[in-house]
Amino acid sequence: MTIDLVLRFELLLELDAPMRYDSLSGARGFSRVLGGTLSGPGLDARVATDGGDYELVRPDGVVEIDGRYVARTDDGIVLYLQNRGFVLDDGSIRCSPRIETSPGRLQALSRALIVGVGRREAGVARIRCYEAP
């Protein structure tokens, strides 16, 4: 059985330089979101500046991310994203964003299975997010 994924949106995040520190679990960090967008068919939202990626740098060089972001559409719909995944040593991203919305025209995103692939480089993460129909 094959599943054809549908491009749902692109997530563009402008990120501050990561704050890094050693912990008993490994090198940890946090990259604050400076802004960004979610754009796709029927979706145009601005990412707020009060979120970011919590990071754990594993011994193999892979960075585990747990991102939390809030975005708002021009018509006032609020989207809360929790994005878990990996940044590989070449900057490629593999992730699975989960979205919670306020009631309205985008609430179907709250029950969507979404996978993302992208790149992170020079303070920017660009992720194309696909939905399983």
**Domain residue limits at 49:** 6-131
For residue 101, what pLDDT is reported? 95
Q: Is residue 53 part of a domain?
A: yes
HEC secondary structure over 53-111: EEEEECCCCCEEEEEEEEEEECCCCEEEEEEEEEECCCCEEEEEEEEEECCCCCHHHHH
Report the chain (133 residues): mean pLDDT per 10 consecutive residues.
92 94 89 97 95 94 96 95 96 97 92 97 96 89
Q: Is residue 1 part of a domain?
A: no
* CATH assignment at residue 121: 2.40.160.20
For residue 26, what pLDDT is reported? 83
- What's the structural domain count of the chain? 1
